[in-house]
Amino acid sequence: MAIPTFVDRVTLHASGGNGGHGCASVHREKFKPLGGPDGGNGGHGGSVILKVDGGLTTLVDFHRQSHRRAENGQPGKGGHANGANGDDIVLAVPDGTVVTDADTGEQLADLTGDGTEVVIAAGGRGGLGNAALASSARKAPGFALLGEEGESRTVTLELKVVADVGLVGFPSAGKSSLVAAISRARPKIADYPFTTLVPNLGVVVAGDTTYTVADVPGLIEGASEGRGLGHDFLRHIERCAAIVQVLDCATFEPGRDPVTDLDVIEAELAAHGGLEDRPRLVALNKVDVPDGHELAEIAKPELEARGLQVFEISTKSGVGLQALSFAMAAIVRERRATLPPPVPPRIVIRPEPVAGADEFTVGRENELWRVRGVKPERWVRQTDFGNPEAVGYLADRLNRIGIEDKLLELGARAGDGVAIGGADAVVFDFAPQIDIGAEILSRRGEDQRFAEERPAAVRRRAKDRAYHAARADDAYEAGAAHDGEDVEGGDRSDDE
């Protein structure tokens, strides 16, 4: 099989790089056994980005390599060393590339204009190291956050040529000849059908208007059912301001004449759909041939009676070409005047998450409570479930945005299953803090050694105890109650 050089529809599997894990490390130095947390953050994973390059006309590069994966972020290290970010992969696509999610069918972007970009697979965030997780309440976290996996997405890239005018007609009607006659493009021209296998673009200058003309492969009756080259190529004229019907006035094929040809092609355009509103021009071609001229003269009044603008032309002699190219320019100008001003070419369209960043939803599914939300799902992915301290930190984060309260409000009970996330959800047993609170003697992530090693605090506590003991002797009845309070509140009141 020949190696294709023009490819206008491809499937691309893209994966962002994973984020690097954060590092949990404690600074060590002689005579300073607990120098504080110094684990650095993981780097972010690289993203896969598509960017329009006006010089490209085909998606053939993707045909050869259909899997792309951006670089991972590096893990953080001790000594506050952050991991390096992974490099993005920027893939050049031709102007007019439409990006669709292959799994959902949702259109992600319609890339027009040189330099326009879209992120199709975002890299994962790097995890925070324990230095960044330390706070006044959690002085020495013994854990770090995991880097998130990069996004993975399969997209379909489809090229819809950006041309102002589209030429349609039977094979050998002279479409490519017309492009060659009015522009500097040099498409292949021959007297056999289906000479043109891929769309050709030509730039036409008519007066002070410059516009592009696309010549698509010839259509025949039944093209919409796949006959001939099919009508697939018609998507290349979906963006056109005008459609020119090129009719062959010098064909000897039985059953064909310009008016019949026009009806057949219109039926194929209708079967493709979406082109009804486009203004039409009719070019009766090959009037340099005597029989062709005669036939054109017969067909012209009939076509004009339908309200069509008709031009008798010859790409050989050049007759009628100027009038036709100026008529095309007029339609293009009119259309450009009604279009909104061009969008800035360097927009980055990043698919937005469905729910707001802060929000979460709780639903009941059979025996399971299901929590969905951008943040809670990210926090779960960042958690090292082998580290109880990290799991505790996750519970704190989930509580802070009110997930536990919401579950209690909805009637969840200790021991119920709670799934956080969608298909790859992590399932927990619901264990509300109010039940287990008594077991927590200090805050998660707090290192008791810090508190215990402060001699001043130890002395102060001893003094307090002596004072209360003395008071208990004085007020004998209240003594027992005082002792109880002391045990409960003693260590905790320090940091409130």
Ligand X SMILES: Nc1nc2c(ncn2[C@@H]2O[C@H](COP(=O)(O)OP(=O)(O)OP(=O)(O)O)[C@@H](O)[C@H]2O)c(=O)[nH]1
Burial 80-95 (b: 16+ CB within 10 A, else e): bbbbbbbebbebebbb
Those residues whose C-beta lies under 8 Å from the C-beta of residue 115, and which sit 6 or more positions away, are 51, 52, 345, 346
| Gap between the Cα atoms of 152 and 147, Å rounded | 15
* CB 196, min distance to Mg ion, A: 3
Examine residue 189 and tell whether it contacts ligand X (CB under 6 A): yes
Compare residues 171 and 479 and give the one whose CB is closer to ligand X.
171
Bridge-based pairing of strands 97-101 and 309-312 is unpaired
Whether the CB-CB separation of 349 and 109 falls below 8 Å is answered with yes
Compare residues 91 and 237 and give the one whose CB is closer to ligand X.
237
| Gap between the Cα atoms of 391 and 384, Å rounded | 7
Structure tokens at 464: 């307090």
Compare residues 97 and 285 and give the one whose CB is closer to ligand X.
285
Bridge-based pairing of strands 242-248 and 209-215 is unpaired
> 171 among the known binding-site residues?
yes
* CB 298, min distance to Mg ion, A: 26
Whether the CB-CB separation of 246 and 178 falls below 8 Å is answered with yes
With CB under 6 A as the contact rule, the residue among 29, 104, 105, 191 that binds ligand X is 191
Reported as type and span, the H/E element at residue 68 is strand 67-69
Compare residues 180 and 299 and give the one whose CB is closer to Mg ion.
180
* CB 185, min distance to ligand X, A: 12
Examine residue 298 and tell whether it contacts ligand X (CB under 6 A): no
With CB under 6 A as the contact rule, the residue among 195, 309, 387, 442 that binds ligand X is 195
Examine residue 116 and tell whether it contacts Mg ion (CB under 5 A): no
Span interacting with ligand X, options 114-122, 153-161, 171-179, 446-454, rule CB under 6 A = 171-179
Among Mg ion, ligand X, none, what does residue 194 contact (CB within 5–8 Å per kind)?
Answer: ligand X
With CB under 6 A as the contact rule, the residue among 16, 94, 126, 169 that binds ligand X is 169
Compare residues 74 and 245 and give the one whose CB is closer to Mg ion.
245
Whether the CB-CB separation of 11 and 158 falls below 8 Å is answered with no
Examine residue 376 and tell whether it contacts ligand X (CB under 6 A): no
Bridge-based pairing of strands 9-15 and 107-111 is unpaired
Span interacting with ligand X, options 129-137, 194-202, 234-242, 424-432, rule CB under 6 A = 194-202
| Gap between the Cα atoms of 113 and 116, Å rounded | 6
* CB 148, min distance to ligand X, A: 51
Among ligand X, Mg ion, none, what does residue 316 contact (CB within 5–8 Å per kind)?
Answer: ligand X
> 161 among the known binding-site residues?
no
| Gap between the Cα atoms of 25 and 457, Å rounded | 27
Span interacting with Mg ion, options 173-181, 299-307, 321-329, 344-352, rule CB under 5 A = 173-181
Examine residue 315 and tell whether it contacts Mg ion (CB under 5 A): no
With CB under 6 A as the contact rule, the residue among 171, 351, 392, 432 that binds ligand X is 171
Centroid of chain to Cα 144: 29
Examine residue 154 and tell whether it contacts Mg ion (CB under 5 A): no
> 15 among the known binding-site residues?
no
Q: Where are the strands (E) in 94-218, listed by range?
A: 97-101, 107-111, 117-121, 152-159, 165-168, 200-206, 209-215
217-to-67, 195, 395, 405 alpha-carbon distances in Å = 30, 8, 62, 64
| Gap between the Cα atoms of 204 and 333, Å rounded | 13
With CB under 6 A as the contact rule, the residue among 218, 258, 373, 376 that binds ligand X is 218
Examine residue 217 and tell whether it contacts ligand X (CB under 6 A): yes
Examine residue 251 and tell whether it contacts ligand X (CB under 6 A): no
Length reported for the chain: 496
**Phi–psi pair at 312, nearest 5 degrees:** -90, 120
With CB under 5 A as the contact rule, the residue among 195, 322, 387, 442 that binds Mg ion is 195
> 218 among the known binding-site residues?
yes
* CB 379, min distance to ligand X, A: 59
| Gap between the Cα atoms of 146 and 74, Å rounded | 12
> 194 among the known binding-site residues?
yes
Compare residues 230 and 392 and give the one whose CB is closer to ligand X.
230
| Gap between the Cα atoms of 247 and 260, Å rounded | 10
> 174 among the known binding-site residues?
yes
Binding positions for GTP are: 169-176, 194-198, 215-218, 285-288, 314-316
List interacting residues with Mg ion (CB under 5 A).
176, 195-196
List interacting residues with ligand X (CB under 6 A).
169, 171-177, 189-191, 193-196, 217-218, 285-286, 288-289, 314-316
